[in-house]
Amino acid sequence: TGKLHTVAKAAGKTYFGSATDNPELTDSPYVAILSDNTMFGQITPGNSWKWDATEPSRGTFTFTAGDAILSLAQKNSQLLRGHNCVWYNQLPSWVTSGNFDAATLQSIITTHCSTIVGHYKGDTYSWDVVNEPFNDDGTWRTDVFYNTLNTSYVATALNAAKSADSATKLYINDYNIETAGAKSTAMQNLVKSLKSAGTPIDGVGVQGHLIVGEVSSMTSNLAAFTALGVEVAITELDIRMTLPATAALYAQQKTDYQTVISSCQAVAECIGVTIWDYTDKYSWVPATFSGQGGACPWDASLLKKPAFDGIVNGF
Cα–Cα distance measured from residue 53 to residue 72, given in angstroms and rounded to the nearest whole number: 18
Kindly name the residue from 55, 178, 231, 236 that is annotated as catalytic. Answer: 236
Query: Please, which residues bridge with residue 211 across strands?
Result: 240
Yes or no: say if 276 and 4 are a contact pair by the CB < 8 Å rule: no
**How many other CB atoms are there within 10 angstroms of residue 137's CB atom?**
9
Check residue 44 for interaction with ligand XIL (CB under 6 A). Answer: no
At a CB cut-off of 8 Å and minimum separation 6, what does 290 contact?
none
Q: Nearer to ligand XIL by C-beta: 131 or 199?
A: 131
Nearest partner of 67 among 29, 23, 104, 120, judged by Cα: 120
CB of 6 to ligand XIL, least distance (A): 26
Binding residues among 236-275 for ligand XIL as defined by CB under 6 A: 236
Q: Which residue is nearest to ligand XIL (CB)?
A: 284
Binding to ligand XIL by CB under 6 A, coded x per residue (else -) over 58-97, reads: ----------------------------------------
Binding residues among 160-219 for ligand XIL as defined by CB under 6 A: 207
Among 17, 46, 82, 208, binds ligand XIL (CB under 6 A): 46
* Core vs surface per residue 44-76: b (16+ CB within 10 A) or e: bbbbbbbbbbbbeeeeeeebebbbebbebbeee
CB of 45 to ligand XIL, least distance (A): 9
Active site residue 178: no
Q: How far is CA 250 from the centre of its chain?
A: 24
Yes or no: say if 299 and 280 are a contact pair by the CB < 8 Å rule: yes
SS3 state of residue 147: helix
Binding to ligand XIL by CB under 6 A, coded x per residue (else -) over 217-236, reads: -------------------x
* Core vs surface per residue 240-250: b (16+ CB within 10 A) or e: bbeeebeeebb
Backbone dihedral region for residue 132 (phi beyond 0: left; psi -120 to 50: alpha; all else: beta): left
Binding to ligand XIL by CB under 6 A, coded x per residue (else -) over 273-292, reads: -----------x--------
Among 14, 35, 47, 168, binds ligand XIL (CB under 6 A): 47
Q: Nearer to ligand XIL by C-beta: 7 or 170?
A: 170
Active site residue 269: no
Q: Nearer to ligand XIL by C-beta: 4 or 275?
A: 275
CB of 268 to ligand XIL, least distance (A): 25
Q: Nearer to ligand XIL by C-beta: 5 or 209?
A: 209
CB of 199 to ligand XIL, least distance (A): 21
Yes or no: say if 211 and 258 are a contact pair by the CB < 8 Å rule: no
Among 35, 131, 199, 274, binds ligand XIL (CB under 6 A): 131
Kindly name the residue from 132, 214, 231, 269 that is annotated as catalytic. Answer: 132
Q: Nearer to ligand XIL by C-beta: 178 or 236?
A: 236
Q: Nearer to ligand XIL by C-beta: 238 or 256?
A: 238
Question: Strands 209-211, 203-206: parallel, antiparallel or unpaired by DSSP?
Answer: unpaired
Query: Please, which residues bridge with residue 242 across strands?
Result: 292
What backbone phi and psi angles, to 5 degrees, belong to 148? -95, -35
CB of 73 to ligand XIL, least distance (A): 17
CB of 275 to ligand XIL, least distance (A): 12
Yes or no: say if 188 and 230 are a contact pair by the CB < 8 Å rule: no
Catalytic residue numbers, as ranges: 132, 236
Q: Could you list the residues that contact ligand XIL (CB under 6 A)?
A: 46-47, 131, 207, 236, 284
